[in-house]
Amino acid sequence: MKTLVWVEHDNTAVKDATLSAVTAASQLGEVHLLVAGSGCAAAAAEAAKIAGVGKVHVAEDAAYANALAENVAPLVAGLMADHDAFVVPATTTGKNIAPRVAALLDVMQISDILSVEGPKTFTRPIYAGNAIATVESSDAKLVITVRGTAFAKTDATGGSGTVEAVAAGADSGLSSFVGSEVAKSERPELTSAKIIVSGGRALKDSDTFKAVIFPLADKLNAGVGASRAAVDAGYVPNDFQVGQTGKIVAPEVYIAVGISGAIQHLAGMKDSKTIIAINKDEDAPIFQVADLGLVADLFTAVPELTGKL
């Protein structure tokens, strides 16, 4: 089976999420990549070095600069004439594009797969991760999004893919990119961080959140996450949210501070290797999934912990 993997990149570098998608794709067969963008030669060169990669299709055009689904989906649908599966990392970009491609191909997408069980059989989480469904596709072509935390990352080096230019399609004229507000952060990116310190509503306000959570995260070189309550209350920006509707993470260590552990939050972090909870309510649901729990007032316990590390 020939698979086409969507390469998530910022024109200069390939993003980590791609490497997990390549692992999933390689379990299906021969791996080809698609690098679409504007001025993306560096990303294409980097993509060609990913271990086990065959052809790297490069679509270089202003129309692909911001990965607008209206422009990218027809490009992918065209390339699918020669491929059996389109494999996409389940990032916001991937989730935006893949279903549009699937509909153009008249196939059902399989979202957020956790494992490859057979050539057309996959497992995926449903009901906020409270159940795992094993599904088999009857479609001629597959469109799959891959949960990054469920697959190891393929080695980013050692490969020798052949780069091949793809003719660009026309700009759809249906949509245009206006601008973006990307949060700058010195900390490790949430979805690839080894350690995450997350805060919830109990942190009171934005200043308190920063004063309590950030020093601990800095000490551990950890990413910072948050529950929906903390984001809704404006303590931190939206992209900090961990959960069913935010980011899905599975770090080595997840430290939940002042988070009760609602179903929707657990959906985003319960595959973490070790979960540590600090909460003053000993009946909080978070303690049912935590490997290590500390029942204590976070305002004294967290600074003390930070100080003793």
Partner 1 sequence: MKALVCVKRVIDYNVKPRVKSDGTGVDLANVKMSMNPFDEIAVEEAIRLKEKGVVTEIIAVSVGPAKAQETLRTALAMGADRAVLVQVDDGVEVEPLAVAKIVKGVADEEGPSLIITGKQAIDDDSNQVGQMVAALLGRPQGTFANEITVEGDSVVVKREIDGGLETVKLALPAVVTTDLRLNEPRYASLPNIMKAKSKPLVTKSPADYGVDVAPRLKTLKVSEPPVRSAGIKVADVDALVAKLKEMGVA
* Cα(16)–Cα(156) distance, integer angstroms: 9
Burial category of 47 from C-beta neighbours within 10 Å (exposed 0-12, middle 13-18, buried 19 and up): buried
CB of 162 to partner 1, least distance (A): 30
84: helix, strand or coil: coil
Which one, of 156, 155, 147, 153, lies nearest residue 115 by Cα? 147
CB of 20 to partner 1, least distance (A): 14
Residue with smaller CB distance to partner 1, 198 or 244: 244
Residue with smaller CB distance to partner 1, 156 or 289: 289
Residue with smaller CB distance to partner 1, 39 or 234: 234
CB of 163 to partner 1, least distance (A): 26
Q: Please count the other Cβ atoms lying within 10 Å of the Cβ belonging to residue 232.
A: 12
Residue with smaller CB distance to partner 1, 53 or 276: 276
Residue with smaller CB distance to partner 1, 81 or 178: 178
156: helix, strand or coil: coil
CB of 299 to partner 1, least distance (A): 12
* Cα(118)–Cα(40) distance, integer angstroms: 34
CB of 186 to partner 1, least distance (A): 14
Q: Which residues contact 148 (CB under 8 A, 6 or more apart)?
A: 16, 17, 20, 21, 89, 90, 91, 191, 248
Q: Which residues contact 44 (CB under 8 A, 6 or more apart)?
A: 35, 56, 58, 163
CB of 289 to partner 1, least distance (A): 5
Q: Please count the other Cβ atoms lying within 10 Å of the Cβ belonging to residue 137.
A: 18
165: helix, strand or coil: strand
* Sequence letter at residue 303: P
* Cα(267)–Cα(245) distance, integer angstroms: 9
CB of 55 to partner 1, least distance (A): 26
Residue with smaller CB distance to partner 1, 160 or 300: 300
Residue with smaller CB distance to partner 1, 127 or 165: 127
